[in-house]
Amino acid sequence: MLHTNLKHVLSATDHQKLISENENVMICCGRMGPMCIPVYAAMTKLENQYPQVVFADMEFDISDAAVIRDAPECRNFMGLPFVMYYKNGKVAHASSSVLSTSQIEEVLNHKLLK
């Protein structure tokens, strides 16, 4: 399990339940590495500003993370973390590598909350 203050997605079943029961979801699939930690920090900061979005993490190296790792939207990703944004259970956007708070806000505002 990742050491963040975010909701933890521990299995493919948890992943499916989370995206099917919530309209807007952002999941950061990564490790506790230098490219991932800033994304977790930005997500933690944004949780209070975006109560209509569920922010969660998923450990990249667990077998069930294949639901994100092997997603077609992530096919060409080279760096961690893999970040998936879901709207009504469907992928609305995907990105990889370190993201700033403003980059995340841009996606939230234009892909999830439009």
**pLDDT, tens digit (0-9, with 9 covering 90-100), for 33-53:** 999 999 999 999 999 999 999
**C-beta atoms surrounding 109 within 10 Å:** 11
Q: For residues 48 and 44, give the distance between their C-alpha atoms in angstroms, rounded to a whole number.
A: 8
**pLDDT, tens digit (0-9, with 9 covering 90-100), for 6-15:** 999 999 999 9
Which whole-number Å values give the CA distances from 77 to 8, 14, 81, 87, 96, in the listed order? Answer: 22, 23, 9, 21, 6
Domain boundaries, the chain: 7-112
Average pLDDT over all residues of the chain: 97
Q: pLDDT at residue 84 above 90?
A: yes
Q: pLDDT at residue 94 above 90?
A: yes
Assigned fold of 7-112: Glutaredoxin (3.40.30)
Q: How much of the chain exceeds pLDDT 90, in percent? A: 98
Of 44, 15, 48, which is closest to residue 29 (Cα–Cα)?
15
